[in-house]
Chains A and B, each alone.
Chain A
Amino acid sequence: MEGVLYIRSMANQIQQDQLTRAARRAVLIDGIPVSTLGVIALALGSNPDQSTAQKAWWIATTIVFTLAIAWVLLRAFRRADEYLRRIQLESMAVAFAAVLVALQVATLLDAAGVVRLQQLAQVILLGGVATWLLIADLRTRLNR
């Protein structure tokens, strides 16, 4: 009887771990296409002398990329329970702070004529998404 209980409890634990892995996989499944879209938007915006059509494509891709980020955040939030939601929020706060600082530095460098803000903006946003995913993933992985 005790053995059966133990096996059932172990099976339940494995099932829960699979649920956690599935949730983490779901974030990656959402995040990877969005990041790819970000890279495409970045590539489209990298040319400083764009035609009107190129500019329109770049703006459209960037808008879709921004909306997609919001959609990924919303889905990750809805999927999580209150503890995981807190982890997500804290990771987002760190990523947000990193994006703010990076944008500020990029703006200064742009003003000094060292780099072009237009080229860096999407890299910074992508870096923010990557920071958020990395911190949230590490925290759920390490605090088991």
Chain B
Amino acid sequence: MKNRLRELRAARRWSQADLADRCEVSRQAINAIETERYDPSLPLAFTIADVFGLTIEEIFQPDRPEATDNPL
């Protein structure tokens, strides 16, 4: 799963520790999510979205080729 965490965090000038504090998780967790080594649980994804004031879809995107009109 791709995400815009680093970009959004940089725009707000937050460190990983700042974001970790706001989401009440460890800095390693934020680092792992940013580097796409770990996909957060749905509750954590909601918390992250709340912290940034965005929806989950605006932060996380599925890591798959663009969907086409023809599913086959």
Contact = CB atoms under 8 A, between A and B. Distances in A.
Interface of A: 5, 9-10, 12-13, 15-17, 19-20, 23, 80-84, 86, 140, 143-144
Chain A CB within 10 A, most for which of B16, B17, B25, B33: B17
A82 B20 CA distance: 12
Interface of B: 13-18, 20-21, 24-29, 31-33, 37-38, 40-41, 44
Contacts of A140: 28
Main secondary structure of the interface of A (DSSP, over half): helix
Given A19-B26, A20-B26, A12 B15 contact: yes
Nearest to A13: B17
B17 A82 contact: no
Contact of B29 (A19, A23, A82): A82
B17 A16 contact: yes
A36 B22 CA distance: 39
A81 B14 contact: no
A5 B17 CA distance: 13
A13 B28 CA distance: 11
Chain B CB within 10 A, most for which of A16, A86, A140: A16
